[in-house]
Chains A and B, each alone.
Chain A
Amino acid sequence: MTKRLFKALATSAVLGLGATTAATAAECIAPANPGGGWDFTCRQIGKIMYDIGAVDKPVQVTNMAGAGGGLAFTHVVSERGDDADLIIAASSATSTRLAQNAYAGMTADQVRFVGAIGADPGVIVVAADSPYQSLNDLVEDVKANPGEVAFAGGSAVGGFDHLKPLMILQRAGVTDVTAVKYIGVDGGADAITQTVGGFTQAMTGDMSEIVGFLKSGDVRAIAVLTEERVPGFEDIPTAKEQGIDVVAVNWRGLYVPKDISDDDFNMWAERLQKVADSDEWKEAMAANGLAPFTKVGADFQTYVDSVVAEIRALSKEIGVIQ
């Protein structure tokens, strides 16, 4: 009897320990369920930090899904404001939501953005048998039949994946961009299956989401939204060289609580730089279709501020927010 009781207690204790954090190890919050980009950021960066000796204990990853990252943001601001052992995964989605005031009044200056060490270039993709051969074919068709073209993407309506085609169409002179159909599905791969299946005409997403499908020949990328063509994917033309000047990359980075000391902030910036310089990270970037994009420390904070301002202006213009 007592033996059984102890067994039950021991089992739950072991599982309990697994669920909570060991006292001093650094913690990385992925503000989404396992499997997405933020989760990847935490697990990959955390793993490399440990592997190259930048931290002496494995980084514990906590998944805190909710409100598109808003729950984690609020949690950090209100409850963990001075926790120097805490990093939180962030990306363009974070800055987009902050710009659109989707975190219930929270603002970008309530945390400190410590750095980004890679970026996922935005892409516009069509099925292999699609009649669209270039970005302009697509844009012309939208101009001719605004209600006929539908995009699928991995983010919700108003999210970063939705903004990409809207930005392109707006720059290309389409007056009523809101007539363009967009369905938000569960992730980029799902958006591709909808496009290959012919339910939508094009997919808007990130390079990492389409790598496998490009190789298998199921889809064609008609534009990548970067300044220059992406190394390794030289045959994909940029939107810019097709005459539509849109640059949209999904950076992968981290923020930290606001009230940590400057020393701690710099320590995280340094660790992040070490990861960026490591061969492991270069390998991980190549395998996942990320392009180099390193901005660390104060430099990155300025970048985020400018991006937030830009997206806010754009979202108002397009009518995503008032």
Chain B
Amino acid sequence: MLPNNTNQASMKGYLGEFEELVLLTIANLDKEAYGVAILQHIDASAGRKLSLGALHSTLARLEEKGFLGSYLGKPTATRGGRRKRYFVLTSEGVFALNKMKSLRDQLWQGSKVNLSLK
């Protein structure tokens, strides 16, 4: 047993804000979700400039938690013949996203303050 496995188990139920963003981006990209594509999509949609290291750390954690799966694609000419690693949502990932969304909706509806911007 690795010493930090217990830690991971306790983290499993939670989905951080950034992790949610990454999962949703992967869902948006569907079959084209690999490192650089995710990075650029987040930059374009959320305006966040990330480092590759930060992104891959998060991806590795999400994979550990079982929200993501990955497979290697075909060799590509543009990256010196290196393969891309594509990420896909697992059913657990979809479930976690749904849980997050329903929690949000519930909280929005229950809000006693007028949250609308109109």
Do A and B actually bind?
Answer: no
Question: A-contacting residues of B (Cβ < 8 Å)?
Answer: none
